[in-house]
Structure 1
């Protein structure tokens, strides 16, 4: 615009030339030998004096040879106010047809502006309109590009920095540490406790609103130079720079816990929440940003295993555990192909007849280097990684094949010899779980009534799909459904009468102490009464003494398993035991 107004002043020529932009683009550009204070400070005077309206009335262009001699009182008054005598003006338009501004040529003496001069002025006005449109197009493009750049490194839901921006800031922090600047920083890795249950039960809109409110609270917990990011799902991270020692990081972690203890008001309801937090401090100049974040993630899992609303500091022992876990995960992926898994079986005994009526199949892992790996070590890893799904299918198939061979040991001709198989949270959540069970039964030829599927309370409650519908479909196949580890999870009594169950299995944590303490005894007795009252059988696991066995019989417990009968053993050892037809 500066170049254009200079051309107007030279080409006409005119002692002064102005381009006045209106609306959001309000600016003034001037050139020439004369100058008035209002050129820069109050160019709107040209509009207020009615010049814009007069141009519109004359088809967009207007010239006045002597403003002092005009019959227009308003323009004559403006001439005195603006200290000008003669002018020529033309409007120019925006792309939508609205007036974008005014281009004027001014003189201090009377001057008759020729038609050619007015035409040239109008052409310059059109050029000004074109330049303004180009500027707006470029500005819009830059705004879009800036918005895209912002969106590429920010979370769409919460507006927080995303993982990419967080890792960039973390990399900058590690780079400064290498140069000896701001050596100590910390990363907090947060996972919202119980978010999946809220999201699945209340709906994604509630979950999204919860995440937004949590994000705002996290922002209030940090200092000005810190960064709060959403890594994805219900995971957040905080980068604390320029800290003095570990106490600064611990203080922020405690501040976050305190902020999240206050219930969140969403949709007219209050939702209690908390977060498991892992804290990792920078520890060396050669540290990689990915390592720091992974360390905080490892500490977070330790905190989550400690219960809701905890935080843990990362240490080297955690790193060793993480490496072991990673190796287990890697080896698990090859274990099925290497045929390293095998099954042990533990007898389930009828307390009415004292005879074995079935077995529970328990998976074991013969690692090619480490030997037998405890299920407590590899099953959680399999569950977290999803490997439990193919592993569980293998277990069910092998157990059903073995149970077919043991049908001749059925204690009652009217009831088949049963095999109980654990159905994990992941397996129960598979959309094809019913079809998979039906396929295995058909493949192995095991009567459906001989298969007992053991599912936990958490498997039922945490599912997205209706758990009741899935259980009904499984039971429609003819298989038995046992609620496993009752009393150790959510203990949602409403599920006992709503789900089409066959039995409740009380956890060993209760049965192993009924001959020593009154409280476990009363709990087990109450569970037995409750189960029988709603038509369910009661299975007690972890029975290890004659006293416990006698108490369970006295209560009317239906079935039991435990070391008093037999430890889990191989198929060959179980075959030998069954052949003796033992009774207890």
Structure 2
């Protein structure tokens, strides 16, 4: 009976089971094709045939086992097993005989009852003595044999695999195939029943795991290459449309993108790329095939220019293309039908396309001739794909070959289109009509329209574009001259009429004017009329022809620019130029009217709010609020203007009573102080107010305004929230400021801008690590000036970028000399430059610094850029951008004066910092109180946890350095290590240290705990100059004597205090603190007085730096002690008071200021 079953299954493989399915036991099997339903009279014949076969069948033949050899890497078992269909939900078969020849029976239930699945039964035998593992594969989609109509698309193939003995095969997860791992024990024979999910029988392959993995890797590599080429072609064809706006480029790109989509689906990338479900691959495949067919049809329509060749063909192809595009959307409803229709549509597309290309080629069309070779390749590819789909072509090489052919077709298509589109003759081939069409389109796109004036008939005609824009019906503006002029604005009507009559009277000429035409809603639009009067050749009748172009946007822009030229864009108030003009006019009227105009300048000094600094939105709202408040205090005849970023000015002409003006100024001051709530923050302003009254001395409005500004400046210096009336003696200060601006322009050329250098020591080994460069102006009249005293002059002279570049170049040049004189490969010297001023952080200054640092004259990370904490907190976002820009060229970034103000620790994470420079107040407060410096220790620990190196300023005593060293601080800076020195003194010091190191025999010592070699140590000493080095004094004038330096007793060092620097003894002026006025400068201190050099005056924002001295100060670093390794005695206290005995943290008393000595 078994033999009868097998024979019957083979004979009935292409029939369909009877509808009644009277008995599930009656077999009815079929193979891959689904055939049509057989007539009902066939059923009795099949029953008779079944009985005949059963009765005449020979002995029963059991299932033959497939021998699995270890050397066999893959095996197609599709036709080596038994295929069952229509057996219901249960299948009972006889197993293959084992080694002993005994057979058995096994029955399997369907996974889902009522599905009536198809079954595949096969047996595998392992003749070897080793275990064999194989992978059973069934691809979810096979192009070969998938059929044209109602194709077999992506779907799951295998529901489960049941063995007769042993463990159940384990499913391996995969998106493109059903994989099961099968294990065969030595000498065993196992029968497997495969339950199928699909209607058609798939191709079953038995793979060795390594061979399957290698094939998957090779296939993935090939797929990636093909997909990359196709993607690049699609991107290229899309991007080239920007350079050449031809329709053929997007049409060709559409073909390329469709091919990319098809390849993505076929390679299994589509659902991964867009995070979609792989179960819908059939929908994606059907849509991709429909898109590819539609794109080729659209390409033919555009490339062959069917609209110009045969216009009716455009309608046919357009409708056809819409149907093809509709198939893409229909794929969601029925993917199988969509795929079948798309595959069928390739045949008419290929046939019609071939016919059109051949016809145009015989007509001499270059386009068709260029496309012909590429189209022939497409026909070959289409033939191969059709043969493979119908099942006549199969094999592992078929699908890769067809995919490669599709990519090659797209590549040749792109090259052909690109070559022809950029050829010079293509434009000429378009014909004269195309040029006229483009000209008309260009005229319409430009917003221009034709304007005609028939002089003899007195008629004017315009194009329909103008009538459409103005809102009139067609033909409304085609009327007589007088009627047409009624649509012109009354202010322009007479001028246009005169121009027309002039052209008529002169029998020729040109028209060129701007006019306004009324719209149907009563508003007006600006138009530009450009025309020329010509005479017709036959009748010599004068006629004007021109263009009307809409220039409304341009006119409004001009009006806006005119308004912005004299009014502030934010507040809407007059700006400085309009204010000066009105002030000058008021001064001219005062002679006849007898009034004295008064100018009040309001300068906003300070903003008090809950945040550190208001952002841009709050600042704008604040200025708008201030403008509204100030406008309440001016009358109609007065003027309120915004003359600066934070400056407003009032011009009073309605009232000249001094008491009224004083009361008005007081009301303005109080209105500024009144808090305002903006964006949830309460903001209070403090302003300085200056008043100037015209008295006949002022030449113009600028002079009057300058006096008021000078009075406001004096009020700001005297203290916030003040009112000052201009007095003639205030001009002296203004003259000094103007003098500084003038002298600064020549200061660099005259070598008056100098740099002083203060040592920075590494505390771990007391070794010289580098220097901080301090910018100074050695003014011939005012003495040594700190940046605080001339940075405003530099801003007005637009020299901040020049100063920054000069300082960086000078510092880097000196650093290069130091490193060359004292070569320390592992630990080279560095230099730090402070740019802590808002003006020095502008984009142009930062760019100049980047240029200088980027030259690479010194090793990377040897140039430090310091920015103070205060400046960072004013505008963190801008500072982050500027610092990041400097860091990219190799600069190390340091946050200076950390701990001196109120900052947010959160910003430390955002800033690209390398070093934290702690303010000297942390050391001074700990030393003065004698308590445990918890704050200092905590800040150091935080810096190290954040990965920053720490530098502590104000190290003025031995025990300060020892304690900081014990806390693990990296660097120290202060009078204990040395005072600021000139370039020559630094060079002498470096040379001395280098010779001392060489004299010691080049011996190196190992740093404690690291094992790294260190250079000779540099310790501070009492001497003012290096041992054996030539003492260099600063230049002196003839009138200045050589004063001896004295040592005064002090309790901290056994009765000795540091000597005053020579420059200080000579009476050079010294930079003051932030609260000191710029002029007059304080007198020099007498010998023995507490030196003010330790204050932070080396900053662009005016804050004084610890340990700085005047020009010519002696270095306090002893190279002899550095070489010998001796610990120096404690130095004198630089502040002139003993911190061991005096715990008060107040600064030492200042001596009274006297006249400034100038040289």
Matched residue, 2:886? 474
Matched, 1:405 2:833: no
2:928 aligned counterpart, secondary structure: coil
2:923–2:954: 8 Å Cα contact kept in structure 1? yes
Aligned counterpart in structure 2 of residue 496 of structure 1, from 903, 908, 921: 908
Q: 2:667 aligns with which of 244, 248, 255?
A: 255
Indicate whether 1:331 and 2:767 are aligned: no
Q: Distance in 2 between matches of 1:494 and 1:208?
A: 26
Aligned to 2:301: none
CA contact (8 A) 1:508 1:541 kept: yes
Aligned partners of 1:177 and 1:320: how far apart in 2? Answer: 28
Question: Contact 1:347–1:561 at 8 Å: present in 2 too?
Answer: yes
Aligned counterpart, 1:189: 602
- Match for residue 84 of structure 1? none
Q: Provide the secondary structure at the position in 1 that maps to 2:572.
A: coil
**When the two structures are superposed, what TM-score results if normalisation uses the length of structure 1?**
0.65
Q: Which residue of the other structure, out of 257, 264, 272, is the alignment partner of 2:683?
A: 272
Structure 2 residue aligned with 1:583: 1019
Deviations 1:42-94 (A, max 9, x none): xxxxxxxxxxxxxxxxxxxxxxxxxxxxxxxxxxxxxxxxxxxxxxxxxxxxx
Cα offset, 1:525, TM superposition: 4.4
1:437 and 2:830 matched: no
1:282 corresponds to: 693
Distance 2:772 2:879 in 1: 23
SS of the residue 1:406 aligns to: helix
Once residues 875 and 897 of structure 2 are traced to their aligned partners in structure 1, the CA distance between those partners, rounded to angstroms, is 18
Asked if 1:239 is matched to 2:651, the reply is: yes
CA distance in 1 between counterparts of 2:696 and 2:808 reads: 51
* Structure 2 residue 381 is the aligned partner of structure 1 residue 381: no
Cα distance in 1, alignment partners of residues 825 and 593 from structure 2: 80
**Residues of 2 paired with 1:576 and 1:526: CA distance?**
39
Counterpart contact for 2:773–2:832, Cα < 8 Å: yes
Secondary structure of the corresponding residue to residue 927 of structure 2: coil
Change (3 A) 1:165 1:395: closer
Distance in 1 (CA, whole Å) between partners of 2:756 and 2:588 is 53
Instruction: Tell me the residue number matched to 2:263.
Output: none
> In structure 2, do the counterparts of structure 1 residues 153 and 184 end up closer, same or farther at CA, with 3 Å as the change threshold?
closer
- For 2:709 and 2:932, the matched residues in 1 are separated by 37
Deviations 1:204-254 (A, max 9, x none): x66544433322111123455532112254432112343433x64454344
* 2:776 match: secondary structure: strand
Write the distance in 2 (CA, Å) between the matches of 1:249 and 1:547. 61
Q: CA deviation at 1:180?
A: 8.8
CA 1:376 to 1:135, structure 2 compared with 1: closer, same or farther past 3 Å?
Answer: closer
Deviation at 1:359, TM superposition (A): 0.5
Q: Which residue matches 2:282?
A: none
CA distance in 1, matches of 2:633, 2:887: 51
**Larger deviation: 429-438 or 350-359?**
429-438
Q: Secondary structure at the match of 1:516?
A: helix
**2:571 counterpart residue number:** 158
1-side partners of 2:960 and 2:632: how far apart?
55
Q: Contact (CA 8 Å) 1:429, 1:463: kept in 2 or not?
A: no
Query: Which residue, 803, 806, 814 being the options, matches 1:391?
Result: 803
Instruction: Return the alpha-carbon distance in structure 2 between the equivalents of residues 324 and 497 of structure 1.
Output: 44
Once residues 212 and 271 of structure 1 are traced to their aligned partners in structure 2, the CA distance between those partners, rounded to angstroms, is 15
> Does 1 or 2 have the higher relative contact order (CA < 8 Å, sep 6+)?
1
Aligned residue number for residue 297 of structure 1 = 709
Structure 2 length normalisation: TM-score? Answer: 0.35
**Contact 2:485/2:493 (CA < 8 Å) preserved in 1?**
no
1:570 equivalent in alignment to 2:982 = yes
User: Counterpart of 1:361 in 2: which secondary structure?
Assistant: strand
Inter-partner Cα distance in structure 2 for 1:313 and 1:349: 51
Q: Structure 1 residue 335: deviation in Å?
A: 1.6
> Contact 2:673–2:686 (CA<8 Å) still a contact in 1?
no
Distance in 2 separating the partners of 1:162 and 1:538: 48
User: CA shift at 1:156, angstroms?
Assistant: 4.7
Q: What does residue 355 of structure 1 align with?
A: 767
Cα distance change on mapping 1:573 and 1:367 into 2, 3 Å: same
What is the CA-CA distance between 1:286 and the residue it aligns to? 1.7
The secondary structure found in structure 2 opposite 1:381 is helix
1:325 CA displacement: 1.5
Aligned to 2:433: none
Per the TM alignment, residue 293 of structure 1 is displaced from its structure 2 partner at its CA by 0.9
Residue aligning to 1:414: 826
Distance in 2 (alpha carbons) for counterparts of 1:413 and 1:151: 59
Q: Report the counterpart of residue 538 of structure 1 in structure 2.
A: 950
CA 1:316 to 1:511, structure 2 compared with 1: closer, same or farther past 3 Å? Answer: farther
Aligned to 1:115: none
In structure 1, list runs of 5 or more residues that go unmatched: 1-94, 99-125
Say which SS state the counterpart of residue 602 (structure 2) adopts.
strand
CA-to-partner distance for each residue in 1:330-370, whole Å, 9 max, x for gaps? 11111222332222211111222222111111223233555
State the alpha-carbon separation in 2 of the partners of residues 271 and 277 from structure 1. Answer: 20
Residue 341 of structure 1 pairs with residue 753 of structure 2: yes
* Residue 167 (structure 1) aligns with: 580
| CA distances 1:156-209 after superposition (whole Å, capped 9, x unpaired) | 5433233344223323444466679344734223347569xx9x9745x66544
Q: Which moved more, 1:446-455 or 1:222-231?
A: 222-231
More helix by share: 1
Name the CA distance, whole Å, in 2 between partners of 1:499 and 1:127.
72
CA distance in 1, matches of 2:651, 2:736: 27
User: Is the contact between residue 853 and residue 890 of structure 2 (CA under 8 Å) also seen in structure 1?
Assistant: no
For residues 186 and 494 of structure 1, do their structure 2 counterparts lie closer, same or farther at Cα, with a shift above 3 Å needed?
same
CA drift at 1:446: 0.5
SS in 1 for 2:843: coil
Deviation at 1:514, TM superposition (A): 4.1
Find the aligned partners of 1:426 and 1:473 in 2 and give their Cα distance: 16
- For the residues of structure 2 that align with 1:441 and 1:294, how far apart are their CA atoms? 42
| Structure 1 pair 433–179 and aligned structure 2 pair: CA distance change class (3 A) | same
Quick one: structure 1 residues 291 and 539, their matched pair in 2 at CA, closer, same or farther if it must change by over 3 Å?
A: same
Equivalent-residue separation in structure 2 for 1:355 and 1:423 (angstroms) = 26
Distance 2:907 2:707 in 1: 39
Tell me, yes or no, if the aligned pair for 2:641 and 2:649 is still in contact at 8 Å: yes
Task: Report deviation, 1:538.
Answer: 2.2
Count of matched residue pairs: 454
Q: Which residue of 2 aligns with 1:219?
A: 631
Instruction: Report the alpha carbon displacement of residue 274 of structure 1 after superposing the two structures with TM.
Output: 1.9
1:459 positional shift: 4.1
- CA gap 1:188/1:373 in 2 versus in 1, 3 angstroms: closer
Structure 2 segments unaligned to the other structure (5+ residues): 1-469, 474-480, 495-514, 517-523, 525-554, 994-1016, 1021-1159
Partner SS for 1:238:
strand
> In 2, distance between residues paired with 1:541 and 1:473?
27
Secondary structure of the residue aligned to 1:515 is: helix
Indicate which of 855, 858, 874 corresponds to 1:446: 858
SS at match of 1:560: strand
